[in-house]
Structure 1
Amino acid sequence: MEFDYNDKLSFLAEWYDYDSSYKKRFVLNFHPSDNTLELYDRDLNRTYLKRTKMDNLELKDVFVGNTLRIYGRQVRITDYADCRTENIIGHTKQHTFALIKPELLPKLGEVITEIQRRGFQICNMKMANLTRKEVLDLFEPYKGDSFLPFILEHLISGSVVAVELVGDNAVARWLEVLGPDDPLEARKDAPNSLRAIYGSDSRVMNGFHASRDVTSAIREAEFFFPKDKTKKVPETSVLLKNTTCAVVKPHAILEGKLGHIISAINDSHYRINALQMFYLSNANADEFLEVYKGIVEDYHALLQSFVDGPCVTLEIAGKNKEMDVHGEFRMFCGPADSDIARQIRPATLRARFGCDKYKNAVHCTDLPEDTVLELEYFFKILKD
């Protein structure tokens, strides 16, 4: 679709001002002809930011549910402001929901890479352990299906990963990408589909559950990622015992490296015990990184490396229970400066996936005594 200079897409947006403990509400107008935006304060009825070009902001970034970084402020897009915008963006940035089943967790990185390769953005992700009641509530529309008792037992047998996806005509296209429910049928009729590639031999062990329509996608995403933060959600799978904390930084996610990093971890001596995507505010990141103040040469650059987009926090466990997980994983991550890592330890995560000293792909806990504190900060304090 072609846009002229005066065309704009309008959204409702909000930003929480930690200094005043007040949530500011905006109309965000994005002009796709030149990638500029403006903010109008809905409470004061006046312009908050005149039309301005933002670095690295494109049409693909402007959709309901995304958080944009605007002059240090993290502005979350909450809804459409008019029908025209909804009609234009509604299908190109449609949301859908996927559940990655327990048998695919060893191949989670590969699956994430494949999801992104097929044109979907991940805007929410969480590993969880489901109870019987939660599975029955989630699959309530499937009540009476003869496979439901078997699916239930399978989903409570291990951790699952809930994923909210965004893409062009996402609901229908994701169903097409997955292929038939039965992997045997998928391998026959849709050999390039994900169930053909990753599924086993039945609807139970087919790797994925997917929302069948827009209404289901909204309901199922809300089950794991509710707008009402007081709503109870499935428990995280965090263990907090002989584990360590890793954070995949925003730049690595935006560069499409998340799946490759997870694959590298799973293919080594480690397994991922818990996982969740977070959008850190400046205040959250500053609180998390407080121990580095006065120690790191450019603290502001370090802080920025955590807030330029979504990050994914991982609890890392060892495949061998006798491992010193914290110490060995720090060695696996490599020197903090990716340029130095590439020179002296080229096989490490930061050497392979980092850019520089601060955009170094992954954070890992420095001191053993801080491991539980860092994991609890994400999975207990920030989890909602």
Structure 2
Amino acid sequence: MEDRYAFLAEWYDPSATLLRCYQLLYYPKDGSVEMFDVKNQRVFLRRTRYEGLHQQDLFVGSLVNVFSRQLKLVEYGDQYTANKLGSKKERTLAMVKPDALSRLGDILETIHAANLIVIKAKMTTLTLSQASDFYMEHQSKPFFSNLVQFMSSGPVVAMELMGDEAIGAWRRLLGPTDSATARQEAQDSVRARFGTDGTQNAGHGSDSVASAAREVEFFFPSTAGHGPSNTAKYTECTCCIIKPHALSQVGPCGVRRRRRDVSRGVRLPAGRPVTAAALYIQSFISEPWRILWEDGQPPFCVIRMGLVLHSGGGGCSMFSSTL
């Protein structure tokens, strides 16, 4: 019998301001998809080959685009799909520390090569209080004071990663906590390549499912609030947007080898650093911005100096650069 994976998916219809529910079926043999309208009990899309969707994109919480509709996969459609695709998926918090910010592109490529997906990202500068709250479990440790001073000394980039056994996978990419040890035991690790010591060690990774849930919530709250503020500047800066259709072509957040390389076709001139960056995936757009629709479709992002005001149609990366 042919393999078939089933998911319940939601799509926000901006015209009707309704959340519509579908059953999405994916056939890995030929990459075809089929959709069933749950409410109206009818076929919405007959089985059709679609090259824009791949098996690694399929997990609960993922946002996928099927013929220009952004669907959120909210539940496995049957036990077979849950058993085959759901057992190993995890989310974790990855953070690039102040000492490694200039190597953000290299670190993102490392993440991408490990088949981990960046779900959300934010560049922020933690206050001393926020750094202390984030590392509260280390309050009794002798290195706590130096750690929070360092973590509040400059911008960091926090990311929610998703993938198979993502917690362990990201920690293996990071390497041992002490950078000197990492250079001896894991020479290709992030800390071996970009870290200095046990505190200035390039990155942070959640060490358990419970820690991942707490730390992701710290930066990307699911309830009220937005977590730590981003680092967007409001004077003498410009903004670069990587639209949803380009993210899959240029890698996570669109950042490539060097910090000034934003995408294959767009480069920031030398000496103009990225001062803010974010990746958001939203599915709404409010009435005042409908005038900005392109060819009848909602804009991917409506932004001001690196801050997302509204977005629709998919995820996007935003970079604010000093002039």
Counterpart check, 1:153 vs 2:138: no
* Aligned equivalent of 2:128: 132
Residue from 306, 311, 327 that aligns with 2:316: 311
Rounded Cα–Cα distance in structure 2 between residues aligned with 1:289 and 1:249: 18
Rounded Cα–Cα distance in structure 2 between residues aligned with 1:215 and 1:27: 31
Rounded Cα–Cα distance in structure 2 between residues aligned with 1:49 and 1:213: 40
User: Percentage identity across aligned positions?
Assistant: 30
Rounded Cα–Cα distance in structure 2 between residues aligned with 1:175 and 1:198: 15
* Aligned equivalent of 1:239: 233
1:237, 1:273 within 8 Å by CA — same for their partners in 2? Answer: yes
Structure 1 residue 27, shift from structure 2 partner:
3.2
* Aligned equivalent of 2:248: 254
Rounded Cα–Cα distance in structure 1 between residues aligned with 2:274 and 2:170: 25
Deviation track 1:105-148 (CA, whole Å, cap 9, x = no partner) reads: 12212221222233322221111122333333333344433322
Output the amino acid matched with 1:276. Answer: A
Aligned length: 306
Output the amino acid matched with 2:211. Answer: S
1:289, 1:303 within 8 Å by CA — same for their partners in 2? Answer: no
Residue from 170, 187, 191 that aligns with 2:183: 187
Deviation track 1:254-306 (CA, whole Å, cap 9, x = no partner) reads: 1235222744357812111111113365857x93882x97xxxxx47996899
Summarize the alignment of residues 209-288 of structure 1 with structure 2, pairs less than 5 Å apart: 209-228=204-223, 230-257=224-251, 258-260=254-256, 262-264=259-261, 268-279=270-281, 281=283, 283=285, 287=289
- As a proportion of its length, which structure holds more strand? 2
Rounded Cα–Cα distance in structure 1 between residues aligned with 2:155 and 2:318: 16
Greater mean deviation of Cα atoms: 206-215 or 35-44:
35-44
Rounded Cα–Cα distance in structure 2 between residues aligned with 1:186 and 1:289: 53
Alpha-carbon spacing, 1:282–1:218, altered in 2? closer, same or farther (3 Å): closer
Alpha-carbon spacing, 1:45–1:150, altered in 2? closer, same or farther (3 Å): farther
Deviation track 1:292-333 (CA, whole Å, cap 9, x = no partner) reads: 97xxxxx4799689977532011111xxxxxxx2xxxxxxxx
Summarize the alignment of residues 353-368 of structure 1 with structure 2, pairs less than 5 Å apart: none
1:106, 1:266 within 8 Å by CA — same for their partners in 2? Answer: no
2:298, 2:313 within 8 Å by CA — same for their partners in 1? Answer: no
Output the amino acid matched with 1:268. Answer: A
Counterpart check, 1:108 vs 2:104: yes
* Aligned equivalent of 1:371: none
Structure 1 residue 195, shift from structure 2 partner:
0.5
1:249, 1:310 within 8 Å by CA — same for their partners in 2? Answer: yes
Rounded Cα–Cα distance in structure 2 between residues aligned with 1:45 and 1:302: 28
Higher relative contact order (CA 8 A, sep 6+): 2
* Aligned equivalent of 1:296: none
2:12, 2:284 within 8 Å by CA — same for their partners in 1? Answer: no
Rounded Cα–Cα distance in structure 2 between residues aligned with 1:82 and 1:149: 50
Output the amino acid matched with 1:159. Answer: P
Greater mean deviation of Cα atoms: 105-114 or 176-185:
105-114
Summarize the alignment of residues 1-384 of structure 1 with structure 2, pairs less than 5 Å apart: 4-5=1-2, 7-90=3-86, 93-201=89-197, 203-228=198-223, 230-257=224-251, 258-260=254-256, 262-264=259-261, 268-279=270-281, 281=283, 283=285, 287=289, 290=292, 299=295, 309-317=314-322, 325=323
* TM-score where L is the length of structure 2: 0.82
- As a proportion of its length, which structure holds more helix? 1
* TM-score where L is the length of structure 1: 0.70
Deviation track 1:141-199 (CA, whole Å, cap 9, x = no partner) reads: 44433322222111111111111222332211211111100001111111111111111
CA RMSD of aligned residues (A): 3.1
Rounded Cα–Cα distance in structure 2 between residues aligned with 1:282 and 1:209: 32
Rounded Cα–Cα distance in structure 2 between residues aligned with 1:163 and 1:134: 17
Unaligned runs of 5+ in 1: 294-298, 318-324, 326-384
